[in-house]
Amino acid sequence: MIYNFDEIISRKGTHSVKWEAGELLKEIGITERFDEDTISLFVADMDFPCPQPVIDALHARVDRLMFGYSTYTTTPDYIEAIQGWFARRHGWDIDADSIVYSPGTVEAINMAVKAYTEPGEGVIIQRPVYSPFTSAITKNQRVVVNNSLRHTDGYYTIDFDDLEAKAKDPNNKLFILCSPHNPVGRVWTPEELVRMAEICLANDVVLVSDEIHGDLVRQDVTHYPICTLVDDDRLIACTATNKTFNMAGLHCSNIVINNKELRTKFTDQIGFKSPTPFAITALIAAYNEGEEWLAQVNEYIDGNLAFLQDFLAEHMPQVKYRIPEGTYIGWMDFSGYGLSPKEVHDRIYNRANVVLEDGKLFGEEGLEFQRICVPSPRPLLRQALERIADQF
């Protein structure tokens, strides 16, 4: 079927964090203003309907009338759907025993920090990076070790010498990789991924790769799951349906842990968890029947990212922006205006009444930046950008 992603579908009345959690956003300091006229582009979820096969499968599941305790272990269809997707799409043969369910990737990252490090030990991350990486470290009394990404004209690369030096420090036990990277949009090359893995493995540093944006890449770009490039069972990868199919509210991540000892340490921390009947049903339908929808949504996201580039070039040329290789995130550098980050924030959030995400949340390296999530109908994206442009 052909999907119409230009259609604006109201999410009001659906308990949406993105569109209805204004008071919470004010409380945690994301914005000072949130009202009926606010355009919200800060959350990494889509304002598009899920794939029709998922919707149909969920309707059929509701028609069974009961929603009791569920498990994915009684029949092979859940695991087989995961295996089939990653084999077809990424050439990744995943052993069934290696798959561990988690309600979310953020929870999995927290459990990995607890499982593979002790309080006071170091965890390496690459800022500017998704802020829950930092909170997973600090809230668990571990030490943030920053292998800051190098930034040249909007393109980010890895400081391998610094990474190796930090991996050699015996106090640093874990490296959390974002692949593709949120928010800078890099899709790491095979050479980059292999080198990062080799550095960690040589120094007995556990590498956990967050790959939940791996299906959302530009048409000429390939995402490589790190486990397909390095034959070592000590590598761990986080997968999920939430970004790929816009199903974050169903809480369904699957962590691939090939090493039995590492898997046991992880499951000892996370305990027994099982997805809801709706998450099981949705994952099976998405992975088995969602490729047509994903092809269309990726094409539309490509168009939105190109539209953002063209709009900024015409109306806000001081903003530096590069189309990301992966994700649906725009990482916009406002330093060309010579304004303080506070003033930039005020003009966007309070005057334009558009909620993005301040770059400072991703580390000091993001201080001059704003993160925008673009998987929304293009007319809505245009309206938000026009409001912002009017303030600069």
What's the chain's average pLDDT? Answer: 97
Angle at which helices 160-168 and 190-202 cross, to 10°: 20
Q: How far is residue 164's CA from residue 92's CA, in Å, rounded to a whole number?
A: 27
CATH architecture of 65-289: 3-Layer(aba) Sandwich (3.40)
Q: How far is residue 17's CA from residue 106's CA, in Å, rounded to a whole number?
A: 16
Among 54-63, 68-77, 144-153, 279-288, the least confident range: 68-77
**CA distances from residue 55 to 203, 279, 302 in whole angstroms, order as listed:** 46, 12, 24
Query: What fold, for 17-51+291-389?
Result: Aspartate Aminotransferase, domain 1 (3.90.1150)
Q: Per-residue pLDDT for 144 more than 90?
A: yes
Read off the pLDDT of residues 242-284 as tens digits, 9 standing for 90 and up: 999 999 999 999 999 999 999 999 999 999 889 999 999 999 9
Distance in Å from the first CA to the final CA of the chain: 41
pLDDT band at 73 (very low <50, low <70, confident <90, very high): confident
Q: Per-residue pLDDT for 387 more than 90?
A: yes
When computed from its CA atoms, the radius of gyration of the chain, rounded to whole angstroms, is: 21
pLDDT for residue 177? 98
Q: How far is residue 33's CA from residue 25's CA, in Å, rounded to a whole number?
A: 9
Read off the pLDDT of residues 202-213 as tens digits, 9 standing for 90 and up: 999 999 999 999
pLDDT for residue 227? 98
Read off the pLDDT of residues 320-339 as tens digits, 9 standing for 90 and up: 999 999 999 999 999 999 99
- Its sign, for the CA torsion 87, 90, 95, 96, is negative
Q: How far is residue 58's CA from residue 52's CA, in Å, rounded to a whole number?
A: 10
Q: Is 370 helix (H, G, I), strand (E, B) or coil?
A: strand
pLDDT for residue 240? 98
Which residues make up the CATH 3.90.1150.10 domain(s) of the chain? 17-51+291-389
Q: How far is residue 280's CA from residue 286's CA, in Å, rounded to a whole number?
A: 10
Specify whether the CB–CB gap between 173 and 152 falls below 8 A. no
Which residues make up the CATH 3.40.640.10 domain(s) of the chain? 65-289
Q: How far is residue 330's CA from residue 10's CA, in Å, rounded to a whole number?
A: 23
∠ CA 212-216-221, rounded to 5°: 120
pLDDT for residue 272? 86
Q: Per-residue pLDDT for 4 more than 90?
A: yes
pLDDT band at 382 (very low <50, low <70, confident <90, very high): very high
Query: For 108-127, what is the mean pLDDT?
Result: 98
Query: For 286-298, what is the mean pLDDT?
Result: 98
pLDDT for residue 126? 98
Read off the pLDDT of residues 215-240 as tens digits, 9 standing for 90 and up: 999 999 999 999 999 999 999 999 99
- Helical segments of the chain, H only: 17-20, 22-27, 52-62, 77-90, 105-116, 131-138, 160-168, 190-202, 242-245, 260-270, 277-289, 291-315, 341-345, 378-389
pLDDT band at 74 (very low <50, low <70, confident <90, very high): confident
